[in-house]
Amino acid sequence: MKVIPVPAIAGAFLFEPTPHADERGFFSRTFDADVVRSAGIDPDGFLQDSVSRSRKGVLRGMHLRSGLGEAKLVRCSWGAVFDVVVDLRPDSPTYLGKETFDLSGETQVSLYIPAGCAHGFQALTEYADVSYRIDRAHDPAEDVAIAYDDPELAIDWPLPPAFVSERDRRALPLSAVLQNTR
């Protein structure tokens, strides 16, 4: 498994597995505590695993947690997604940096997103399953949503949004979220 730092987001990493393919299909290790530890991340710090399934065009995000934030390791285990991370940590050298990723079940690449970064994705295939490994218990009172179509973020979503949750439709612009977190 290869560890690839994400230059636009300090502390973010891609974990690229080495699949073993043959006539049956493939086998791939998707998590290795020693490799995660080598990137400076405590693998024992993850407390919860979750999965979402989305239909093509579904857009989820941009989400983050207030308070201590929430670090997560995400992977598209089936299908494909267009994934976006925005660094909202004021003390980060990549503050307001943005990066996009193509994650898919074909590659099984995992993306580590540090606490304090906003995250969202759009399903590109008929169905897409995204697995999350999270370092804190979920507290709905800390949920923060930023408008996925905020011009300040200027995210070039690849498809017209097929479905957006009520929470994401009511999300605040980035400027309001930044004002509330200062």
The separation between CA 77 and the C-alpha centre of its own chain, rounded to angstroms, equals 13
The active-site residue out of 95, 112, 127, 132 is 132
The pLDDT, as a whole number, for residue 154 is 95
The pLDDT, as a whole number, for residue 67 is 85
The pLDDT, as a whole number, for residue 9 is 97
The range of the structural domain enclosing residue 35 comes to 2-180
**pTM of the shown model:** 0.94
Q: Which of 80, 77, 101, 73 lies closest to 28 in space, CA to CA?
A: 77
In the chain, how many domains are there?
1
Q: Please give the average pLDDT of every successive group of 10 residues along the chain, which has 182 residues.
A: 96 94 90 96 95 97 92 97 97 96 96 97 98 93 95 96 94 92 62
Does residue 119 carry a catalytic annotation?
Answer: no
The pLDDT, as a whole number, for residue 179 is 87
Rounded Cα gap, residues 99 and 90, in angstroms: 17
The pLDDT, as a whole number, for residue 180 is 77
Please name the residues in contact with 43: beta carbons below 8 A apart, sequence gap of 6 or more. 31, 33, 36, 37
The active-site residue out of 63, 112, 119, 148 is 63
Question: What CATH number did the domain enclosing 176 receive?
Answer: 2.60.120.10
Does residue 112 carry a catalytic annotation?
Answer: no
